[in-house]
Amino acid sequence: MKNIMKNLLGTLFTIVAVVGCGGGGSGGSSVAGIDRIGISAGPVTGFGSIFVSDDRFGTDIAEFNIDDDSTSSSETDLEIGDFVILTFDPANPANALTVFSDDLVEGPVSTVNPATNTIVVAGQTVIVDADTVFDDSINPASIEGVSPTDFIEVSGQFDANGDIRASRIEPGMGETEVHGEINGLDTGAMTFMINALNVSYASAVIDDNIPGGTLADGQFVEVKGVMSGATLNATKVEQSGIGVGADDGIDLGDFDEIEIEIEGFITRFVSVTDFDVAGFPVTTNASTVFIGGTPGDLGQNVKVEVEGDLNASNILVATKVDIRRANAIRVSAEVDSVDSDNNEFTVLGVTVRVDNETRLKDQSIADEDPFLLTQLVAGNYVEVRGGTDAGGSADIIASEVERDDLPNGPGEDTEIRGFVENPINEPTSFTILGVTIETNPGTVFRDSAGIPFGSASDFFDALDPGDAVDVNGTETSQQIVVADEVQFEN
C-alpha cells in the first residue's frame, strides 16, 4: 500500500508540475507566473461548469485529460460520480486550469455479491456503497443491476485495504485496464499479479516512464490488455500518473503556496495529527475546524473532505476537516409535499432536509440540469439517501436526492431502508422512521445474505430495535407500506 499512497501523491504533484510549466493547449498559457496553485480532488457532483465535492469550477480555459486522452477530452466526457483531480488559481477559483480523470479498473465482472456490496472486476475488489452512482443503462441502478456477464468501468478511490471504493459504475468497452501494485513478479515467465489478477507482459510495451524500463514488485502501474481466461495479456504497462511518474522528483518550487481540497477515505491513520486521505498525508492543529463530527470520529476508511495548505514537508495542514455523513438510510417513494423555503420535503410522511452538501440529480424525462429543490413537486418519484438528522428538525439529512420517472403505478416501487424502531408487532408489522411496515402471507423474509427465512415467525424472532432492514413494497397510505420483501442489512 505504501506505493499506492506514493503514486497518488505523485499524481497530484504531476498535475501541479504540468500547470506550473504552462502545460500545452489553450489553458497552459493562462497560468504562467502564478505563485499559488489550488488542487481539488473528489467526485463530480454536478454540471453547468463542474461541481467537485459541491465546489463549482468553470471550465472555459481548462485543459482536460480524461481516460488518458489529453488531445480531445472535454467536460462532455465526464459524468456524475467520476473522480477528478483539478487545479485552479486561488486568485481566480471560479475557473479550473486542468481537469484529470481516469477509471481505476475496466474489465469483465467475475462475481457480484449483494450481501457484501462487492463486485470483482478483472481480479480487483470493488466496494459499492450509498454514494456509488450507476449509469442510466444499468437497471436497476444498484449492485443488483450488475451481472457476471458484464464488462464495466469503475471510477473511484482506493481505500486502506487496496480495494476500490466505487464513485461511479458504467458499461465499459475496448481493452481491459487495471491500476494496481505489482506483486509476485516472475521475470522468467514474464508474469506478475495485481491483487487477484494474473498479468502476462510477454508481448507488452513497457512504457519509458518505468524507471530504467525495469518492472519490480511494489511498482504502481497501469496495465492495458486483453483477457484470456483468468489472465490479462498485457499490451502496455506504464507507471500510473500523467506523463511522468511518482518517483520523478517533481519540483514544487515554482509555487510559493499550494492549496489543496480532497474528498476521500482515510487510507492511513496513526493519530488525529498523522493520517492520509486518498493517499495524501494530512495533519491537523489547534486551529483546525471539524465539521460533521469530532476528532475522535476519525479513523481508517472514514470518508472526509479536508482543506488546507501544503507545508514545506509536502503535508497538507488542514484548516477544515469535514467528516462526511453516513448513508445508511434510503427511501424511494412519491413526494408528499415540498417546503423549499426551509430546504425540506416529505416522503412517506418522513421529513427530508437538504443542504449545500446534498447532491441533487434529475433522471426523469424532464432532465433538469442543474436540478434544484424548487423544481421538486408533490407526486414526483424520488430516491433519497442519507443519514439521521441528529439534533435537527428533519428525520433524514440527505446526501443524495434523485428524481426519476414513476416506474409503475402510484404507491408501487416503494423502498425504505433504515433502523427498526418500536413498536414491533409480531408477526404482522414493525416500524422504520415512523413508517409502519405491514407484512402478510405473501411477504418474503430474507437474512443479510439473501437466504429466505423459514417463516415470518423466524424473521420476527430475530428482529430487534436498532436492526438495519430493507423493505420493498407498496405505499398504501402516507405512513404505511405493505411489504413484498424484507431483508436484514449488514
Give residue 325's pLDDT: 66
Q: Identify the band that residue 392 occupies on the pLDDT scale cut at 50, 70 and 90.
A: low
Cβ–Cβ under 8 Å, residues 122 and 390: no
50 DSSP β-pair partners = 47, 57
Distances (CA, A) of 18 to 22, 251, 332: 7, 11, 44
Torsion of CA 468, 445, 333, 474, to 10 degrees: -150
Euclidean distance between the first and the last CA atom of the chain, given in angstroms as a whole number = 27
pLDDT above 90 (res 244): no
149 or 201, higher pLDDT? 201
Most confident option among 3-7, 140-144, 330-334, 407-411 = 330-334
Give residue 85's pLDDT: 87
Q: Residue 323 half-sphere exposure, CB side, CA atoms within 13 Å? A: 18
- Centroid of chain to Cα 335: 26
Per-residue model confidence as pLDDT tens digits over 28-57: 333 445 567 788 888 888 887 888 876 788
pLDDT above 70 (res 3): no
Q: Residue 377 half-sphere exposure, CB side, CA atoms within 13 Å? A: 4
Per-residue model confidence as pLDDT tens digits over 432-480: 999 999 999 999 999 887 889 999 999 999 999 888 899 999 999 889 9
What residue ranges define each of the domains in the chain, with the CATH number in brackets? 105-174 (2.40.50.320), 177-236 (2.40.50), 329-404 (2.40.50.320), 414-488 (2.40.50.140)
**Cis peptide before 140, with omega less than 30 degrees from 0?**
yes
C-alpha 385/C-alpha 133 separation (Å) is 12
Q: Identify the band that residue 27 occupies on the pLDDT scale cut at 50, 70 and 90.
A: very low
Per-residue model confidence as pLDDT tens digits over 334-375: 999 999 999 999 999 999 999 877 888 888 999 888 899 999
- What grid cell was written down for 203? 508481448
C-alpha 307/C-alpha 38 separation (Å) is 10
